[in-house]
């Protein structure tokens, strides 16, 4: 039963998933999504936390009521504190008996912050000294961003060197392209939905790069295995061999992504959602979104771009033409000699994956490179002369 399952059919290339052959569609979809993401980032921007936009934070003991009650009453207090004063985010922080509600507000000056703390103490019937107040400058968020960008540049440089040494430069370009697309689409989703960007979000962005790179390397390793010495036979084009590699590694990529997303989903939905651990929300959210994007980009963008780059190689172009010419010869029933003449002028269309039946037909009907053509032998194939038997004259001895 296992040999007829989806995983087995994907590995044998019988599932018919032509991912590489539909690369124009993937590139078009990716271009549209990138335009939407960049448009949202430019015109709408991000919902920045107080670490980046600047603001104040107040820590209120959880004994005063529920989180919703504290948020509502704090909003009323801030409305009278000054123009534009409002609560940005609220979350429960701490554990082991030291829990408190952290209220993040828009930026207030020293007098306004002290007035808010005093009034909050009166509203909640506690000593204002029990409410901690801090002011966060946006300069700190700028420093975090600059260091994160520096780390991103160093990471991409090291990854490029590794991929060039481990594989080849075309694979390095495909992998970096997938990583950049992953970051752009994840950032665009944050901007469209309005998720808050905090230092934990920046750390999560750098973390998902490692997962995305792992997924791409797994696929490229199978591509390299399938295309090693591909020009020595005329059974598959480079695009078909790469598409088979994507099919063969697809189930592994799905399993890896699901296994990675389960604990991240637990952090996000159980830790941050049900248990109220707000400090885990920012990190869990960006990891969940980024890992899902990494799976899609590694499958639909990295390998198709690799095929586009490799098809510009003269050796691969000549090989693809030989394969298509031989396949056309088999379908028309012509001799292999005519295929070599047609191979010099036939362009490569959008590649389709080779099924098992087509591969078997091509292997059986077309000769191997360098093999002697198989044809019907003449009467003198064994050294005899035309017209009769093995003796001169071709007749019987009288």
The per-residue pLDDT for 247 is: 85
Q: What's the pLDDT at 333? A: 59
Alpha helices, DSSP H only, in 167-237? 169-193, 199-227
Q: Count CB neighbours of 43 within 10 A.
A: 8
Instruction: Report pLDDT for 29.
Output: 92
Q: What is the pLDDT of residue 28?
A: 93
Higher pLDDT, 6 or 157: 157
Predicted TM-score (pTM) of the model is 0.66
For the range 320-323, what are the long-range contacts, defined as Cβ-Cβ under 8 Å and sequence gap of 24 or more? 320/237, 320/238, 320/239, 320/348, 321/346, 321/347, 321/348, 322/234, 323/234, 323/235, 323/236, 323/237
- What pLDDT, in 10s, does the model give residues 332-359? 655 554 544 444 444 444 444 444 434 4
């Amino acid at each position: 039963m296992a040999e007829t399952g989806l995983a087995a059919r994907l590995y044998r290339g019988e599932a018919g998933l032509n991912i590489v052959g539909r690369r124009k569609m993937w590139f078009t979809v990716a271009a549209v999504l990138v335009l939407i993401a960049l448009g949202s980032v430019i015109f709408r921007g991000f919902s920045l936390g107080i670490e980046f936009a600047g603001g104040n934070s107040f820590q209120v003991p959880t004994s005063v009521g529920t989180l919703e009650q504290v948020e509502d009453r704090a909003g009323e207090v801030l409305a009278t504190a000054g123009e534009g004063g409002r609560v940005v985010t609220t979350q429960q922080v701490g554990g082991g008996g030291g829990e408190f509600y952290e209220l993040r507000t828009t930026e207030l000056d020293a007098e306004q912050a002290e007035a808010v703390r005093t009034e909050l103490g009166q509203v909640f019937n506690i000593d204002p000294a029990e409410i901690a107040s801090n002011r966060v400058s946006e300069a700190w968020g700028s420093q975090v961003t600059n260091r994160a960008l520096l780390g991103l540049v160093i990471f991409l440089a090291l990854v490029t060197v590794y991929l060039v040494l481990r594989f080849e430069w075309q694979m390095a370009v495909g992998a970096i392209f997938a990583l950049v697309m992953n970051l752009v689409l994840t950032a665009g989703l944050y901007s469209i939905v309005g998720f808050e960007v905090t230092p934990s979000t920046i750390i999560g962005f750098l973390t998902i790069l490692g997962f995305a790179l792992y997924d791409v390397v797994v696929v490229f390793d199978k591509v390299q295995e399938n295309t090693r010495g591909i020009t020595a036979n005329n059974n598959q084009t480079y695009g078909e061999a790469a598409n088979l590699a994507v099919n063969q590694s697809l189930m592994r990529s799905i399993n890896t992504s699901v296994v990675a997303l389960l604990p991240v989903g637990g952090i996000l939905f159980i830790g941050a959602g049900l248990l109220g651990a707000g400090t885990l929300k920012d990190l869990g959210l960006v990891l969940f979104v980024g890992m899902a994007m990494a799976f899609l980009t590694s499958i639909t963008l990295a390998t198709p771009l690799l095929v586009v780059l490799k098809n510009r190689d003269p050796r691969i172009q000549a090989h693809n033409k030989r394969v298509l010419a031989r396949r056309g010869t088999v379908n028309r029933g012509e001799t292999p000699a005519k295929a070599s003449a047609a191979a010099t002028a036939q362009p490569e269309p959008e590649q389709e994956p080779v099924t098992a039946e087509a591969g078997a037909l091509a292997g059986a009907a077309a000769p191997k490179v360098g093999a002697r053509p198989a044809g019907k032998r003449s009467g003198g194939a064994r050294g005899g002369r035309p017209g009769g038997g093995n003796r001169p004259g071709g007749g019987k001895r009288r």
